[in-house]
Structure 1
């Protein structure tokens, strides 16, 4: 088997057994990244840095000083600060900018010996879900290069699904790890906000922003989570399937979805039930009634407060006006023009959403889980598979035009506003495109969620890898 097909955990095991070296991994992944360059997943790839870090890892291992993740390459989203590569949030005004300090999550991975030579393209400034970025060109879905990978961590999803890197980090404010994972056949974990440090992430909303791993195996989610946690994860035994009780919000998140997605997700529910999992119908309406009052006021207000602070902290010498002037993508420019113009969020509206409505919503969610006696909720990550690139405003679902952004975030937005943990699991294909199932748990119940997913993981239908042999093979010079 090619090294490009191995997961992070499998690469680590092979390195520990001296089956191959970190330099050999670098050789294979660089070749794959060159051949998959047409997918537009990478914003920056430095082969010299790749080999340098790989050789340092091999030297540590030869001395018997190997670290927890030594020699395993990972790709970082372009809004995670790296002091040896630009961090641009894939926007015009930040091109070539190198921050003063690594993001804490990057520091944690470096301390574990990870090889970090690349940054992934994202939806410009993380304000969207298509990664059709006018500043960089679109990132493309490896299952169909004419379709979106999701966003805003679309480049990370593209790169991991295309076997350019075994795993990577994205960030999630409203959907941005879970959605691209679902659309590209990956696992994507959004932890409870605060489980990982948010220092050194180009901010949108610190209340909602969090880094999250995107991988091709559940074992890799657990591996990266254990290294990124600010405190040691609790060790929780994997429950038996007959112990599991999951809530199914049929009257909300199981309605209005693509017919093919419905077929795949309902079949998986049936598989869970046959395996002994108890499924409980739950009413999410008490949570949904509050959700609309929480999300946008918090994100839009905090963005305008925190982006200028980030620019100043890194001594970039530009302010918010220059940043906005450099935005290339029309959809993102429209948002910033609105929130700095006629759609400004008042401090009073922000504080009402943050200090009144959000706690009410969190309490309603906790009450729902407790009263239903369920460990979490289960529902499709997205009501449709990947749409064509260019469907920025509307796309088609079951023969009808629907709003692209609102449709794709319709299932993920609630968990973001709650600050709750969720994992998108790959459960097969519909029409040749991946489908994801989202499991969300109680706020702070990340370890329980991971244990629950370990129990379910053997039941997942195999999601075929994208047929990369049909893609045009090409070579390109390194992006430095």
Structure 2
């Protein structure tokens, strides 16, 4: 039975691979359909480059394989999107910034290489917040342009992995890779109605789940990680299993779960988002989940005291090393910063250039970060928790600021606060501590904007967290597909 283009666009990653293996779908037909979808959705600005010739040739090679060889590939013919700060050999690694616009990678990040070896095909490199230093993906470089949310093209998709999220939500690809330092897979996942995983990082070394050092344009070697994104938790788990070689997931009965609700992450929420999040809680509780309310009053203040010191002191050190190691067109932090196009990123790099957080870094790493890790560890142990749960972001997607790239936002009539700080409020603490986090879709607001719920787990509990996510997803379902992904911004704004 031949699948129509509409049927192909609706496929999840699992379904697409199964169809290719069963001979119901030609990889070349599927790639052709998705490339046409990408062109139709060009107004999203989801991609920096489409690798059409490469992708079509790779798909044709999959189709030409003997059946037994194809069956041995767990991702045979699966098109994926890869964020523009992740190396793929012979493809552009621009990180959304002018100084790297013509930079072609000489290596492939290990996470990408494992997906490709399993049969995945990179359809293109995705747009992002410039240098990953932001959460809107409003990239004001002439080489990139702002990424738009498929649910409302006047709104942000979240960031910094907004291009990957927009491409997945708009049915251009079923899955892909982003990166996450403070929330950059989970925030865009939440704002576009998809799933995003931040894998365990811990203190590095064996605790780090994905090993892509020197193959990703960095912010912070302590906090950065590649992370898979998809329309379902099962699809994200599939990519994670291929990258890590992990065992298959074990089914999790909902009635066995004890899930903590940290009070600081359930306060000061947008009212429309809050309604969706609490309705999801009610459905999960009715399905048997036990929820435990937690004070955790030190969680946000402790994270805020050390977050920037860790991230931006390491930017000052890590960017020059990456530029040299990757034979980039510019070799110094100053040369890179001189060409930054987005005003919000320029302001941050003013502090990075003078190492404004250098004096605080060692105390943050020796005292503050271990204290935050201890807070998480003691809470999980004392309360016998499987995970924490809270809204991934305190508000849904807001209108794109095409002048500054990021602005101020007011939540529930309160005093306006910095947009980046607002969206990072819930995702940043686990990132600082090196813990895994998973954002799953909770539903749509009354205005039709997606809302995400985040599960944070103990260090190394990634597969357990994914299994819990699958169980939650079975209760909460998936949001309806965006209807206007190929509309122009002007048309959508007046619709």
Normalised by the size of structure 1, how large is the TM-score?
0.94
Q: What's the C-alpha RMSD, in Å, of the aligned pairs?
A: 1.6
1:446 aligns with 2:462: yes
Residue-pair matches, total: 468
Tell whether 2:118 aligns with 1:143.
Answer: no
Match of 1:237 among 250, 254, 257: 250
What is the rounded CA distance, in whole Å, between the counterparts of 2:200 and 2:452 in structure 1? 20
Once the two structures are superposed, residues 90-149 of structure 1 have per-residue CA deviations (whole angstroms, 9 ceiling, x without a partner) of 100001111221111111111111111300000000000111111121000000000000
Q: Structure 2 matches for 1:34-433, cutoff 5 A?
A: 34-62=39-67, 64-66=69-71, 67-135=73-141, 136-193=144-201, 194-199=208-213, 200-229=215-244, 232-235=245-248, 237-250=250-263, 252-318=264-330, 319-341=332-354, 344-346=356-358, 349-390=360-401, 392-400=406-414, 401-430=416-445, 431-433=447-449
CA distance in structure 1 between the aligned counterparts of 2:53 and 2:456, rounded to whole angstroms: 40
Give structure 1 stretches of 5+ with no counterpart. Answer: 474-480
Confirm or deny: 8 A CA contact 2:170 2:485 kept in the other structure.
Answer: no
- How far apart in 1 are the matches of 2:449 and 2:388? 24
CA distance in 2, matches of 1:9, 1:280: 34
Contact kept in structure 1, 2:334 and 2:353, CA below 8 Å: no
Moved more, 431-440 or 108-117: 108-117
Query: Residue by residue, what CA displacement relative to the aligned partner does 1:345-401 show, whole Å, maximum 9, x if unpaired?
Result: 22x521221122211210111001111111111100011110000172212432443
Work out which of the residue numbers 16, 22, 28 in structure 1 matches 2:27: 22
**CA offsets 1:248-277 (integer angstroms, 9 cap, x no match):** 112x11010110111110111111111111
Gapped runs of 5+ residues in structure 2?
Answer: 1-5, 202-207, 490-495
Shift of 1:317: 4.5
- Secondary structure of 1:171's counterpart equals strand
| Corresponding residue number in structure 2 for 1:476 | none
Alignment CA distance shift 1:117-1:239 (3 Å): closer
Distance 1:464 1:41, change over 3 A: same
Q: Tell me if the contact between 1:198 and 1:206 (Cα under 8 Å) persists in the aligned partners.
A: no
Question: How far apart, in 2, do the equivalents of 1:269 and 1:150 lie?
Answer: 23
Distance 2:145 2:486 in 1: 21
CA distance in 2, matches of 1:350, 1:234: 37
CA contact 1:192–1:419 (8 Å) conserved in 2: yes
1:225 to 1:52, Cα distance in 2 relative to 1, 3 A: same
